[in-house]
């Protein structure tokens, strides 16, 4: 196959050797293809002058990547959200110390 988004033979062999369901393999293949397409589009946007100045092109690519491949929340962000949910539901009672837990979480690095 000569299509530019055809996975390399080594990668196909690797996927084939995983103990995954056919659905899980399809998901991996679809994600891989989408990543290849995103990289190709970003490469065009970085070099094509129709997309503005170099700075504008870099900002555009950064924005596209942030929107299409958002980073998952950090463990700290997940913990703070869980604490907010517990507090708002009224299910959290830690001897009135949820503020201590929150401050400790906020001091952690992401």
Return the pLDDT at 96.
65
Q: Are residues 47 and 90 in the same domain?
A: no
Q: Kindly report whether the global pTM for this prediction surpasses the value 0.75.
A: no
Q: Which domain holds residue 57?
A: 9-68
Instruction: Look at the chain and report how many structural domains it folds into.
Output: 2
Question: What is the rounded CA–CA span in Å between residue 37 and residue 4?
Answer: 9
Q: What does the angle CA 19 – CA 23 – CA 26 come to, to the nearest 5 degrees?
A: 95
3 lies in a domain? no
Q: Are residues 27 and 50 in the same domain?
A: yes
Q: What is the mean pLDDT of residues 81-101?
A: 74
Q: What is the pLDDT of residues 30-73, one digit of tens each?
A: 999 999 999 999 999 999 999 899 999 999 999 999 999 999 88
**Count, residues in the chain:** 110
Return the pLDDT at 1.
53
Q: Are residues 20 and 64 in the same domain?
A: yes
Whether 94 has a pLDDT exceeding 70, the answer reads no
Return the sign of the alpha-carbon dihedral for residues 84, 90, 91, 92.
positive
What's the pLDDT band for 14 if we cut at 50, 70, 90?
A: very high
Return the pLDDT at 92.
62
54 lies in a domain? yes
2 lies in a domain? no
Return the pLDDT at 95.
62
Mean of pLDDT over the chain:
87
Q: What is the largest distance, in Å, between two alpha-carbon atoms of the chain?
A: 65
């Amino acid at each position: 196959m000569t299509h530019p988004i055809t996975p390399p033979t080594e990668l196909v062999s690797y996927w084939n050797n995983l103990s995954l369901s056919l659905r899980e393999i399809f998901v991996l293949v679809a994600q891989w293809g989408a990543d290849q397409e995103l990289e190709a589009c970003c490469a065009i946007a970085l070099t094509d002058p129709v997309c503005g100045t170099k700075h504008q092109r870099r900002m555009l690519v950064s924005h596209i990547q942030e929107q299409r491949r958002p980073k998952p929340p950090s463990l700290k962000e997940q913990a703070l959200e869980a604490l907010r949910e517990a507090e708002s539901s009224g299910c959290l009672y830690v001897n009135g110390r949820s503020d201590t837990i929150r401050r400790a979480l906020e001091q952690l690095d992401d």
